[in-house]
Amino acid sequence: MAAADLFKGVYPFLATPFTDGQQEFDEARLRAHIDELIEIGKVHGITALGSTGEFALMSEDERRRVADTTIDAVRKRVPAVIGTAAISTKVAVALSKHAERAGADAIIVNPQSYWLPTEDELFDHYGAIARAVNIPIMVYNNPGTTKIDMSPKFIARLHKEFSHFISVKESSGDIRRVQNILELTDGKMSVSIGHQSLGLAAFATGATGWTTGIANTIPNLCVEVFEEAVNHRNFDNARKIFNRILPLCDFYAEKSLCRSVKAAAEIMDKPLGPPRLPLKRLSANDYKTLEKLLVKCGAIREKAHA
């Protein structure tokens, strides 16, 4: 795949399945989930080990197992992208090297920090990762979870210094940044929106990717929005589809992606196990609300309850 097409389209940020008792990584469930997303959901790529995948609650060995399993299960049908973020530069570099050796098509890296780094420290962190691998890198800006907000100017600086920073997952919630990043990099960095509720708005301002956890649940509908908005530029049709899923997007944003994705999977009889402790399942009332939203958007049929 040409670098210009990498990250274009809908790339679900995979939930990581865990077993119901011991909360161990469930490889078989992950493989089945990936098959369904690619063969039935028709997604354009697969991304593992992001916030939806609960990567921060895993050991380094577990993350390597998830990376290996993901790449093997994808089988080059679509690009496989692996998240390699870590607080320590040494660990982030090691995980990035492992992803490249394992056959990942690209990596995605967001800053992780207990001590907030200076801009120069953060630049050197990314620089060390860039020098360690030769595969494309997506920069992931998600200040809501990392508390680090990378400006479009900083991101453009990364691309100018290291050409294999080719894309940005922008999750700040500031839709103007899509245009800013495109302008500052002369369109050489693509922009993928991370916030599920801003997908359509981001496409209207130049984003060409949607890297989101909600695509675990409704991949076909996410793909339809993308196809209408980006490939066909038919925003009337795209808006009609997006308005169907927007209440579900807003619910996921409020309740958190990792909890919501796993609750939805359970409701849809495609279980991915529980969130890993200390995270817990949604409440019974939230399950009821979520089921209604899934019915409303057409993801499932209404169930008969005793």
Residue 85 to residue 167: CA distance in whole angstroms: 16
In a domain, 65, yes or no: yes
Of 133, 160, 145, the residue nearest 13 (C-alpha): 145
Per-residue pLDDT for the chain (306 aa), expressed as one digit of tens each? Answer: 666 689 999 999 999 999 988 899 999 999 999 999 999 999 999 999 999 999 999 999 999 999 999 999 999 999 999 999 999 999 999 999 999 999 999 999 999 888 899 999 999 999 999 999 999 999 999 988 889 999 999 999 999 999 999 999 999 999 999 999 999 999 999 999 998 899 999 999 999 999 999 999 999 999 999 999 999 999 999 999 999 999 999 999 999 999 999 999 999 999 999 999 999 999 999 999 999 999 999 999 877 665
259 domain residue, yes or no: no
Query: DSSP labels for the chain?
Result: --TTTTT-EEEEB----B-TTT--B-HHHHHHHHHHHHHTS--S-EEESSTTTTGGGS-HHHHHHHHHHHHHHHTTSS-EEEE---SSHHHHHHHHHHHHHHT-SEEEE----SSPPPHHHHHHHHHHHHHH--S-EEEEE-HHHHS----HHHHHHHHHH-TTEEEEEE-SS-THHHHHHHHHTTT-SEEEE--GGGHHHHHHTT--EEEEGGGGT-HHHHHHHHIIIIIS--HHHHHHHHHHHHHHHHHHHHH-HHHHHHHHHHHTT----PPPTT--PPPHHHHHHHHHHHHHHTSSPPPPP-
Q: Which of 281, 287, 284 is nearest to 300 (CA)?
A: 287
Residue 306 lies in a domain: no
User: Considering the domain boundaries, does residue 29 fall inside one?
Assistant: yes
Does residue 101 form part of some domain?
Answer: yes
- Per the structure, the complete domain to which residue 206 belongs is given by 9-240
Q: Annotated active-site positions, please?
A: 140, 169
Domain assignment present for residue 281? The answer is no
Number of independent structural domains in the chain? 1
CA distances from 15 to 49, 54, 62, 159, 204 (A): 8, 7, 14, 29, 28
Q: Determine, yes or no, domain membership for 273.
A: no
Domain-embedded: residue 250: no
CATH number at residue 76: 3.20.20.70
